[in-house]
Amino acid sequence: MPELTRRGLLAASAGAAALAACKPAAETKAATGPWTPDATALAAQVRDKQISAAELMEATLRKAEALQPKLNFLVATDFDRALEKAKAGGQTGPFAGVPFLVKDLDDAKGMATRHGARWTAAMPPAAKQDVYVDSFERAGLIFFGKSATPEYGFLPTTEPLAFAPTRNPWDTNRSSGGSSGGAAAAVAAGVIPIAHASDGGGSIRIPASCCGLFGLKPSRGRMIDPNPGKSAVDISVNHAVSRSVRDSAALFAATERADGPYPAVGMVTAPLNRKLKVGLLLKSGNGKDPGPDVAAAIDHTAKLLESLGHTVEPTTWPVDSARFGQDFLVLWSAGAAQLVEGIAKATGKTPDETMLEPFSLRMARLIAGLPPGALEAVIGRLETNVRQYDSWFDTYDVVLSPVLTNPPVELGFVDGDVPFEELSARLTDYVGYTPLQNVAGAPSMSVPLHWTKAGLPVGSQICARAGQEKLLFELAYQLEAAEPWAGRKPPVSA
């Protein structure tokens, strides 16, 4: 096997941005079965000694080496140590011996955490890791690298100025989504079957939709976390993107808190066996209709749900969606302001555009310009939105909506170098369906049930009341069985 080194691999990916991008292929027809095993199947092969963990890791590293220059999903690698761990064996848990990527917003021992930012270029490898990352290792997963993310996860595309853009395996001219775009690209292309992802405003669901994957955002406080959060401002949660529902369900069961705010879900294995009342939400948060491809996708999903015996009826936002969008931008910007303050304390320098992207700096300035009490008023309204969201489910079991207003956009359309006012307008039009569940602390999933005529995936978002992950997993199993997606293979793949 060729030598796989961090320096050589990342040097190759830096040059890949200059390569001619692949054109989208005609729509890929779904096969009757998966084109590559999921993590559950791979773990069974290792457990049954059909393949060793070391052989599996070697094959994965070869795939990573081949596809990194085309997709740029890695920002750090730990190949040698991963192979050593696989050879040593001893992993336990449901995914013992399965290769895995940790998103580059979380510490993983032995690899630098870059947060997609230029100012972290000299960051040393992490000496310790987050407790949630520990739970992945307890599940038996072996880390071989860090997946790419936009700067501090702020944008719905993975195009940080610190690295070359991550490209979508279905069309390398297009975004893989964000902020878990590196994870989604690697899974969609078949390098690995499941990868760490996190979601603070859609960052699991958006890349899942863009890359044709399953992605479930958990409830607030559900997963293992030293600071799980209890209020509307605690918006970010961890989980994964995967090709199969059972992989996501198994990792969820292995990494959820035993002492969380809701009864533990455990391992969900069976499809839904009851009929649901489904609300259908079409208009985005800014009051606009989705584009024709997305409208067709949601219509398709609504009809599929009805064919399975569920009742679907139109609904509207339970909150003032225009006001909510403005308030969420302020909350997002407050995070940027805290980031700028923290970097200044850590470095003794006022962050500028050599350290952070223009969008991050401009959000921080937005907070500085607010009148006294404005942020507190925003937080108060968001807490009210939590209760309004919960009341939605006095009427409906789940709500169906788009994830994004359009299929994955072209690279450059919503990256951090676009002027702030123009970028804010584009984001308002493109990302209007996913942030409410983060504020509400409620579970939501993107299910890959539709591909456009140009071969681009379009996910359908289905959300539920806080704590209702079991219901969503069961419904996801039912949809997966009704219209399997595992046979769809992107043009750029292992």
Active site residue ranges: 103, 179, 203
> Beta partners for 99?
142
* 57 within 8 A of 7, measured Cβ to Cβ: no
Tell me phi and psi for residue 177, to 5 degrees.
90, 180
* 122 within 8 A of 143, measured Cβ to Cβ: no
- Residue 483 CB-half CA count within 13 A: 17
Kindly tell me the sign of the dihedral angle through the C-alpha atoms of 144, 68, 59, 451.
positive
Length of the chain: 494
> Distance between the two ends of the chain, CA-based, in angstroms?
16
* 206 within 8 A of 431, measured Cβ to Cβ: yes
* 362 within 8 A of 420, measured Cβ to Cβ: yes
* 428 within 8 A of 325, measured Cβ to Cβ: yes
Residue 432: both structure tokens together: 């209007």
Q: What's the alpha-carbon Rg for the chain, to the nearest Å? A: 21
**Residue 282 CA, distance from chain mean position:** 22
* 466 within 8 A of 390, measured Cβ to Cβ: yes
Pairing of strands 311-314, 142-147: unpaired
Distance from C-alpha of 339 to C-alpha of 362, rounded to nearest angstrom? 12
The H-or-E segment that residue 462 falls in is: strand 457-463
